[in-house]
Amino acid sequence: MDRQVSKEEVPSYELVEEKIKEIDASIIILRIFYIFMHIAYKFQLIKNDKLCTVEIPRKLLEGLRNKNLNLEEELNRIINSSLEESECWSKV
């Protein structure tokens, strides 16, 4: 089972939260899990009564600490593509 983590444990959490809010301010980060097998963080997002899960690689989040614009563009791509997929949003 994936281990639930706090936002303080997630590298560049503030930037991820900022990017999500830029897309839609009504989206809330509900929970975050660390996926050991994928070496990634799984963000569970909620909007109204729907849940969406976005996986972001740990290396990408760690690299964002250095203000790397290429990695920031990659983060935008991951978040945008996940949130735009209708299959991502499931009723809770």
Q: SS3 string of the chain?
A: CCEEECHHHCCCHHHHHHHHHHHCCCCEEEEEEEECCCCEEEEEEEECCEEEEEEEEHHHHHHHHHCCHHHHHHHHHHHHHHHHCCCCCEEC
> pTM of the full predicted structure?
0.90
pLDDT digits (tens, 9 = 90+) for 28-41: 999 999 998 889 99
pLDDT digits (tens, 9 = 90+) for 13-26: 999 999 999 999 99
State the burial class of residue 35 (Cβ atoms within 10 Å of its Cβ: 0-12, 13-18, 19+).
middle
Of 88, 70, 90, whose CA–CA distance to 23 is shortest? Answer: 88
